[in-house]
Amino acid sequence: MRHVTIRLLGPPQIEVDDGVRPLPGWKPWGLLAYLVLADRPPSRPELAELLWPSADDPAAALRWALHQVRRALGDAVRIADRSGRLVVDRSGASIDVLELLAGGLDPGQVEDLARGELLEGTHFADSPSFDLWLGMERARVGSALRSTLRWAATLSLAEDPDRALRLVERLLASDPFDDAAHELAIEIQVARGDRRAARAHLDRVARLYRVELGTDPPERLHRPLDRIEPDGENPLVDRRTSARATLALARARLTTGDYDAAITSARRASLDAAVVGDGLLEAESLLVLAEALIHGRRGSDREAVGLLDRALRLAMTAGALELAADIERESGYVSFLAADYGAAEVALHRSLALAERSGDAGRMGRALTILAACRSDEAALDEAEVLLGRATDSLGASGDRRWLAYALAYLARIHIARGRSAEAAATAERAIDGARESGWHALVPFPLTFQGEAALMAGDPSGARAIFGEALTMAQAMDDPCWEALSLRGLAMTETAEGRPDEGRRLLGRALESCRRYTDTYRWAEIVILTELVEAERGTDPEHRDTARRLAGDAGLTGLVERIDVASARQTRGQTPHP
């Protein structure tokens, strides 16, 4: 059987044994991309409506396009009708976009793969629903590609700095305001021994930021050029011993939530480790520093990305697979919070692969939990539920009760989305109990919101109000804007369910304010709340409407974009949407 290479990044192409197979027309390419990337196998009527909504005979148009695809692929890739849906057997093919999203490439392969955007040069203006889907997929795949370029440049820095520079320059061509990429580019120039080029790059960035953004670039871009000179050396203790002791203190402070103290200790530990050239110890310190910045200090996620890049390079050089798995998971978590799902998923797939190589069930479960959270945000419920099943099995086997509670909270959300109120209530209760018993009290408001939704779904608004109120009280006491916003959203749902839509709308406005009180909060929560506010306002507020559509579109949340468009269309026609 011949091997087929399907290139969907850049100008699309099918290669069979070094020869190029033609696939005429954009619609067959759109069909192939959808069959490969859709969350679940589509039916023929779905495909016909998606790609040929205005055709005289959409079913015939689909048959013609499917014939073209099958002829181009030959017998290496089979497309079969199963239970009324078209299923693709990809075992005989290499598909670049799937290899990218799986996170299994090496840096050399990344350089060969990065050819452009998904289905570059194709146009589907006569198929608006497909055009919307393609735009969302281009955003997700583009996010994954940019993240992978930075990862490949990071790992290439020591062995092939010239390749690292090519990769980071390609990244900056698509996003000239990526702080972490600029920091990496300067570090690469320093590693190449060209400090003049490093300073010139920093000067160019400063001019660019001042002209385009009206601000100076972050101070951390100077880090690769700064000499490491930690203050306050203790003459009675060598730096390696000091670094280890200070790192232990940073971890303890991080566990208790004393984030500022953890940042100070971890930063000192990383500097001491760098002075003595202990790469593994420095990587461990940088991870703790990044975690404290991400989970404690608002507005510091972008700074943490550069720290995680360096930590990963040091960990991989030392062969510390378990540490590398933790670093990749934290990188994925940062992107997940920002609703940058393509970047999140490739990092989490790498984290999962590293955890599997080391045989660590707990690390596997943690990576699977955040990966499932991404897919749940994206409304890929079937995949998310499977991933959560694997996550809870791994976390249960490892005895990690804290993360098991986190995974169960997302499983409760899946049950809510599927209308399973009893299962949602029981799963949320397990998550709440697990969080409390393991001492992770900061998590408790999250599953409480799903317990409240389950009560509301079961016809108990009074019980739901009490549960949402408990979640809100805890969230406000902890100054957690994400859980506060979701609790307010729950109370808004309760008000609306009891016939007070104006009060529900007011509470959604408060929830939105909570989301925006700090930067680096859970972007999905903001987008969902804003979407529901647009619906409650019947699409009458153009600022809310336009912002909601932009944020949902940037995140690739197709279902929310469609809801926003429906609310906008009803406002335009002067119609009242269903509550």
**3-state class (DSSP) for residue 81:** strand
Distance CA 140, CA 117 (A): 10
Residues 6+ positions from 290 with CB-CB distance below 8 Å: 304, 307, 308, 311, 327, 330
Provide the 10 A C-beta neighbour count for residue 18: 6
Question: 467-487 pLDDT, tens per residue?
Answer: 999 999 999 999 999 999 999
Encode burial over 483-504: b for 16+ CB neighbours within 10 A, e otherwise: bbbbbbbbbbbbbbbeeeeeeb
Query: In this predicted structure, what is the pLDDT of residue 227?
Result: 55
Q: Which two tokens stand for residue 277?
A: 């050239």
Query: In this predicted structure, what is the pLDDT of residue 576?
Result: 45
Query: In this predicted structure, what is the pLDDT of residue 228?
Result: 52
Provide the 10 A C-beta neighbour count for residue 17: 10
Q: What is the mean pLDDT of each run of 10 residues along the chain (579 residues)?
A: 86 86 93 93 95 95 95 88 91 91 91 86 93 92 94 92 93 91 92 92 94 91 70 66 95 90 95 93 97 83 90 96 97 96 97 96 98 96 97 98 97 97 98 96 96 98 98 95 96 97 97 92 96 95 95 93 89 49
- Residue 176 φ then ψ, to 5°: -75, -5
Place of tokens 């990587």: 283
Question: 20-63 pLDDT, tens per residue?
Answer: 889 999 999 999 999 999 988 999 999 999 999 999 999 999 99
Query: In this predicted structure, what is the pLDDT of residue 247?
Result: 97
Q: Which of 291, 310, 311 is nearest to 301 (CA)?
A: 291
382 Ramachandran zone, left/alpha/beta (phi>0; psi -120 to 50): alpha
Question: 77-130 pLDDT, tens per residue?
Answer: 889 999 889 999 888 889 999 999 999 899 989 988 877 899 999 989 999 999
Query: In this predicted structure, what is the pLDDT of residue 578?
Result: 40
Q: How big, in percent rounded to 5, are the helix, strand and coil portions of the chain?
A: 70, 5, 25
Residues 6+ positions from 533 with CB-CB distance below 8 Å: 505, 508, 509, 512, 541, 544, 548
Q: Which two tokens stand for residue 48?
A: 């016909």
Query: In this predicted structure, what is the pLDDT of residue 579?
Result: 36
Beta strand pairing status for 78-82 and 85-89?
A: antiparallel
Distance, CA of 70 to chain centre: 34
Q: What percent of the chain has pLDDT over 70?
A: 95
Cβ atoms of 565 and 549 within 8 Å: the answer is yes
Query: In this predicted structure, what is the pLDDT of residue 113?
Result: 82
Distance CA 495, CA 498 (A): 5
Question: Where are the extended beta strands (E) located within 66-106?
Answer: 78-82, 85-89, 93-95
DSSP string, 242-296: HHHHHHHHHHHHHHTT-HHHHHHHHHHHHHHHHHHT-HHHHHHHHHHHHHHHHHT
Query: In this predicted structure, what is the pLDDT of residue 223?
Result: 80
Q: Is the sign of the CA dihedral 50, 55, 60, 63 positive or negative?
A: negative
pTM as predicted: 0.92
Distance CA 258, CA 103 (A): 34
Place of tokens 């409240």: 452
Distance CA 323, CA 315 (A): 6
Following CA atoms 174, 178, 184, 188 in sequence, which dihedral angle do they give, to the nearest 10 degrees? 40
Cα-based distances in Å from 550 to 133, 183, 245, 558? 15, 28, 47, 11
Query: In this predicted structure, what is the pLDDT of residue 224?
Result: 83
